[in-house]
Amino acid sequence: MASRAWLHAGGQASETLDAQQPHHSQDMGPCRQAGTAHGRHRRESRRRACGRRAALCGNRNAAPGVARHQAVMKPVEAGPTLPLRERDRRWSGLRRIMRSRAIDAIVVGSFQGRERLESYLSDDFLDAVVVLPLDSPPVMLAFSPSRVSRAYESVRRGYDCWIDDIRIGYGGGRIAAILAERGLAEGCIGLVGFGPTAPGEMEGLLPLGFHASLTAALPRARVVDFTQNLTDFILLKSDDELQLLRFAARVSEEACQVMAEVCAADVSEATVYAEVMREIHRWGCDTRYPSFSLQSGPDNISWGVPRWTVRAEPPRVLQVGDVVQAEIHTIYGGQEAQVQMCIALDPLHPDLMKCESVARRSYDAGVRAIRPGITFGEVVAAMEGPFRESGCWSKTPLLHTFTFGSTGFTPLNRDQLANTQEGWIEGQTKVGIRRADLVLQPGMALELEPNACLGNRRINIGAGVVVTEGGCEELNDIPTRVFHRAGR
């Protein structure tokens, strides 16, 4: 059974969100329909969430700029921090894996990669490389004195550094010297970065120069790949990590509410982008690449960051009949709470209404399927059901793990793209499931992001869930359905 614990804390009840949502109960399955206890539970969760947002924003009838100003003047809640027991859990767990593989030390760097993997060992991000020996304390090598200074500023404010030995320098040669200093010049060294580490990093992120200088300086060492050992270890969240993830999800929920308030005909995409990012930063969170995907239009099949953020092109202005769709990558303390927000500026084309129903039913199917012991591929199959019945296809994954692990695309119903530009584009890709055999365990987090397409019309909704002993905990509510509002 799914739960959403944080949505029940505090807040004056509000009908605002429900008043703007169509209730297609016949499309939502028995557990979502009005009249069931579960349905009443979900609606009350939405009302409470809206009440908190109303309290932050003040008068909803005020001009948007006034509401935003009022929001800034209201205090926000500080997020939790990670205790040193979490550091000890991570280091000891990784050392158990190292011992089982007879590895003497691992080397983990961010190397400008998406996941900033050094952070997992340091609870920080200094553009650094961390050496974690099996039997001695870790060393962090940062290339810039200013980055080390900012680490010690946190100490001055009362927050511990996880790693005591921080040095200035860079390159594989310096890391080799550290390993030699620890007596590991002829040891077995596990390197992270050879294998897939994120979408777009399928062949790794380890710089050739770093690897060449490291191995040249340690000709008698044996270098092995530790990438999947680390990323699989990260998949299982501790209770302390889940507190951070839930906070990030709460901030994502607030950002979705802001997006719903701002979107209207004649509003620029740039305004929507600015207000959503402002809300995330107001809560003391950031975003992880690609930060904030945002696309709009009645038949815009493209996906990713707004065009005007990557080229000299003016921001699009929203119009009646649009769907405004976003993928928001809120991150707090290294925990990413991604959501897919979709806003309809009614009236919509009938194909989009059909896609909305399919996407929502696919999300529900995923929630019902998730439980310990089931494979990732079995969840994909469950979410495919509404697509198989409807004739819709899917451009982006139906779901994926939080942190790189498994990703689930479906190839269903792509024949409708024959002899089209989109068919030519998609025909060059191999659609399927990466690591379908991954067995779900309590503490794993997944992003359910069903996207249903008919031709070039597309609806994308979704949010994160955490696998629990009895099923899953849903982390968000607003982005799990299309938010409808009058186009003007």
Do 337 and 379 fall into the same domain?
yes
Do 293 and 404 fall into the same domain?
yes
Do 225 and 242 fall into the same domain?
no
Do 114 and 195 fall into the same domain?
yes
Do 351 and 472 fall into the same domain?
yes
Please provide residue 239's backbone torsions phi and psi, each rounded to the nearest 5 degrees: -60, -40
Do 295 and 427 fall into the same domain?
yes
Mean pLDDT value across residues 332-356: 97
The pLDDT value recorded for residue 195 is 83
> 332: how many CB neighbours lie within 10 A of its CB?
24
With 0-12 / 13-18 / 19 or more C-beta atoms within 10 angstroms meaning exposed / middle / buried, residue 403 is: buried
Amino acid letter, residue 62: A
The pLDDT value recorded for residue 85 is 97
Query: b/e for 164-180, b at 16 or more Cβ within 10 A?
Result: eebeeebbbbbbbbbbe
Mean pLDDT value across residues 4-33: 38
Do 176 and 127 fall into the same domain?
yes
Residue 21 binned pLDDT confidence (cut-offs 50, 70, 90)? very low
Tokens encoding 370: 């998730």
Residue 14 has pLDDT above 60, yes or no: no
Q: How far is CA 129 from CA 107, 111, 279, in A?
A: 7, 8, 32
Residue 74 binned pLDDT confidence (cut-offs 50, 70, 90)? low
Distance CA 390, CA 399 (A): 19
Residue 18 binned pLDDT confidence (cut-offs 50, 70, 90)? very low
Residue 16 has pLDDT above 60, yes or no: no
Encode pLDDT of 283-296 as tens digits: 999 999 999 999 99
The last residue of one of the domains, among 198, 213, 235, is: 235
Residue 99 has pLDDT above 60, yes or no: yes
Amino acid letter, residue 60: R
Residue 83 has pLDDT above 70, yes or no: yes
Do 358 and 463 fall into the same domain?
yes
Lowest mean pLDDT across 56-65, 223-232, 302-311: 56-65
Tokens encoding 175: 């890391």
The pLDDT value recorded for residue 201 is 87
Q: Which domain holds residue 370?
A: 5-75+236-486
Tokens encoding 313: 């092109």
H-only helix segments in 218-349: 227-235, 239-262, 269-282
Query: b/e for 112-139, b at 16 or more Cβ within 10 A?
Result: ebbbbbbbbbbbbebebbbbbbbeeebb
Do 351 and 469 fall into the same domain?
yes
Do 288 and 179 fall into the same domain?
no
Encode pLDDT of 303-342 as tens digits: 999 999 999 999 999 999 999 999 999 999 999 999 999 9
The last residue of one of the domains, among 200, 217, 235, is: 235
The pLDDT value recorded for residue 67 is 53
Mean pLDDT value across residues 26-35: 37
Domain count, the chain: 2
Residue 19 has pLDDT above 80, yes or no: no
Which CATH number covers residue 117?
Answer: 3.40.350.10
Do 22 and 120 fall into the same domain?
no
The pLDDT value recorded for residue 488 is 66
Give, in degrees to the nearest 5, the angle at Cα 123 between 341 and 191.
Answer: 100
Residue 198 binned pLDDT confidence (cut-offs 50, 70, 90)? confident
Question: Quick one: which H or E segment has residue 170?
Answer: none
Cβ atoms of residues 485 and 260 within 8 Å: yes
Query: What's the predicted TM-score (pTM) here?
Result: 0.86
Mean pLDDT value across residues 472-480: 98
Mean pLDDT value across residues 236-261: 97
Distance CA 418, CA 413 (A): 11
